[in-house]
Amino acid sequence: MIAFSAMNSTEFPSFTVMNNSTISLFPPLLDKIVNGITILILFITMVSLGCTMELSKIKIHIVKPKGIVIAVLAQYGVMPLSAFLLAKLFQLKDIESVAVLICGCCPGGNLSNIFSLALKGDMNLSIVMTTCSSTLALVMMPLLLYLYCKALIPNTKNAIPYNGIVIALIMTIVPCAIGIFINAKTPRYSKIITKVGLTIMLLASTAVGIIAAMKIGQEVWTLLSPRLISTCTLMPLIGYLLGYILSSLLCLNEECKRTVAMETGCQNIQLCTAVLKVAFPPHVIGSLFLFPFIYLLFQTAEALVFIVIFRCYERMVS
């Protein structure tokens, strides 16, 4: 049996694999300390992102919400449908299909904000979009889960972690508001705070990723089916590409196109984990508790590829 736990406010999950014995990334006490540090790192990161935002530009997106509307349509139109079609294409088992659909119906996560910054996207649109998609998740997640997998989840209402969604909203809005205030009052410190915050985030996420890969890497590839791993590979890629194509067709500028692409392909993995834990007992979901972690790896790796390509292209044309 495999248990998968994650703080609702962070993108760095912790794992416990139980199969007559227990394997965990950290001892229980250290695990709590790591979770606390992770929340602090996320808070610092979001303050750093807030330092790149301006109230005047946020107001423009709210008054003329074309970019927000497109991003919402992409998030709650493209991703759930992609998840559904991939589940059909690869002929996944019912329980595997449910895990994929739950992931597809989740709102965007904070990683999209970081990737948007790395791609020199519109950070004001990115943060506003993350906030909007998380708020809409209170309604859209149960609705979409009901529409796409009502036969497989009898009671979707009780499967939605509303507290987790609210916490995710708070962890986005509050630190960003602090960053916006700093940028407005003392702009000379904004760039320093942004660089320091993102450096801390990069080092911490790299360390956690390496430890996680060392601890559970072998279990992942042996417990999850190749078809499910293929779905993990294609789903974020489809989100990134269709998000960019949709925003191009609707004539957004280049910064907004890159932002919408990241907001579409990046899912809130910790909420996906929470839904899986609430909706199914461990003996039913089994190794699929590892699915969100694999999706996180692929959505991060693919985003990094796009970032490298974009940066190389910038250097070539400059």
| Least reliable range by pLDDT among 71-80, 225-234, 282-291 | 282-291
Token reading at 274: 């929470």
3-class DSSP state for residue 121? coil
Band the pLDDT of 309: cuts 50, 70, 90: very high
Instruction: Tell me what the mean pLDDT of segment 85-109 comes to.
Output: 86
- Lowest pLDDT segment from 145-159, 176-190, 219-233: 145-159
Report which of residues 239 and 273 the model is more confident about.
239
Is 265 among the domain residues?
Answer: yes
Query: Is the pLDDT at 212 greater than 60, yes or no?
Result: yes
* Cα 28 off chain centre by: 25
Core vs surface per residue 182-216: b (16+ CB within 10 A) or e: bbeeeeeebeebbeebbeebeebbeebeeebeebb
Nearest residue to 114 (alpha-carbon basis) of 172, 186, 60: 172
**Exposure of 252 in the CB half-sphere (CA atoms within 13 A):** 26
| pLDDT score of 17 | 41
Q: What is the dihedral of CA 39, 40, 41, 46, to 10 degrees?
A: 90
Q: Residue 12: what pLDDT?
A: 44
In the predicted model, is pLDDT for residue 219 greater than 80?
no
Domain count, the chain: 1
Q: For the segment 5-62, what is each residue's pLDDT rounded down to a tens digit? A: 443 444 444 444 433 333 445 566 666 776 677 777 778 877 887 787 777 777 776 7
The span from the CA of 126 to the CA of 140, in Å, is 19
Strand order in the sheet with 14-18: 2-5, 14-18, 22-24
State how far the Cα of 30 lies from the Cα of 35, in Å rounded to an integer: 9
The per-residue pLDDT for 273 is 78
Q: What range defines the domain where residue 264 resides?
A: 2-313
What is the C-alpha to C-alpha distance for residues 45 and 187, in angstroms, rounded to an integer? Answer: 17
H-type alpha helices, the chain: 28-50, 55-63, 66-73, 79-89, 94-105, 111-118, 123-149, 162-185, 190-223, 226-249, 254-265, 269-279, 282-285, 291-317
Q: Indicate whether 318 belongs to any domain.
A: no
pLDDT of residue 69: 84
Q: Cα–Cα–Cα angle for 186, 57, 119, nearest 5°?
A: 90
Helix (H, G, I), strand (E, B) or coil at 17: strand
pLDDT tens string 147-180 = 887 655 555 555 555 666 577 667 777 887 888 8
CATH of the domain at 214: 1.20.1530.20
Q: Are 293 and 13 in contact (CB under 8 A)?
A: yes
Q: Is residue 68 part of a domain?
A: yes
Selection from 90-99, 123-132, 145-154, 240-249 with the highest mean pLDDT: 240-249
pTM of the model: 0.74
